[in-house]
Amino acid sequence: MKQKIFAANWKMFKTPAETRQFFKVMTSFNLKAEMIFFPSAMSVEAALESTKGSSISIGIQNTHPKVEGAFTGENSSTAAKAMGCTFVLIGHSERRSLFLENEVLAEKVQFVQSLGLKAMFCVGETLSQREQNQTEAVLAEQLEKGLAKASSENLIIAYEPVWAIGTGKTATSAQAEEAHKFISQWLEKKNFKNLPILYGGSVKPENAAELISQIHISGFLVGGASLDPESFKKIASV
């Protein structure tokens, strides 16, 4: 049986009160699945408090790759760790496209790992890159750049085709499996052994079972469908 991981990216949704309400319901399900939630930075504390004593892990969506300093508006990885976060999301396509993060990703992965935090590193191609048969080249380049200073420990990869994020258009299980297999082979070649590879992009209760049945899909990174506890419960129960 493969180890399955279910991660939730809440983006800029949910106040602290809404976060507490969500976890009141979520923790009452007593699910055995491995679950990681990435609330917005403002709701991290509420998430940590309301999941204390459960097996749920909490991560932060973005941190700066320096210990401290004059970086107005940035989140500190050190503070996130001190609060009790165990994961940091790095390289999400919204960070890449809206906040122009690309060159800094390798440094972020390295810094987070040096603190003993786990990096969840995202890769994925746009629709036009897919249509021009560049998917594998794009994935290889993103992996090469982002993992340039990474170690195998404390690392999870998430494959999220940009065209499937928040669009309701999921990759077919065959398309997802093909990309996951490519990523898995790339990782093996570079000596990153046995890393979980999560799929993300419009995962819903209706398509989760089919996607998880693919050999190289270890779990999911879920956006929209993770905001409702009932819906995430169904996904994390496949």
Residue in 64, 92, 180, 216 annotated catalytic: 92
Q: Binding of ligand PGA at residue 99 (CB under 6 A)?
A: no
CB burial string 195-229: b at 16+ within 10 A, e below:
bbbbbbbbbbbebbeebbebebbbbbbbbbbbbeb
Candidate segments 15-23, 79-87, 191-199, 218-226, binder of ligand PGA by CB under 6 A:
218-226
49 or 228: CB nearest ligand PGA: 228
153 or 230: CB nearest ligand PGA: 230
How far, in Å, CA of 140 to CA of 221, rounded?
20
Candidate segments 50-58, 60-68, 197-205, 230-238, binder of ligand PGA by CB under 6 A:
197-205
Whether the Cβ atoms of residue 124 and residue 93 lie closer than 8 Å to each other: yes
Unique residue bearing structure tokens 């935090």:
117
Q: Binding of ligand PGA at residue 224 (CB under 6 A)?
A: yes
Would the CA dihedral through 86, 91, 95, 100 be positive or negative? positive
160 is catalytic: yes
Query: Using CB under 6 A as the criterion, what x/- string covers residues 148-167 for binding ligand PGA?
Result: ------------x----xx-
The structure tokens listed for 141 are: 């380049």
Say how many residues touch ligand PGA, by CB under 6 A. Answer: 13
Residue in 94, 125, 160, 177 annotated catalytic: 160
For residue 118, report the phi and psi dihedrals to the nearest 5 degrees. -100, 135
Residues labelled as active-site residues = 92, 160
Residues that bind ligand PGA (CB under 6 A): 9, 160, 165-166, 200-203, 221-225
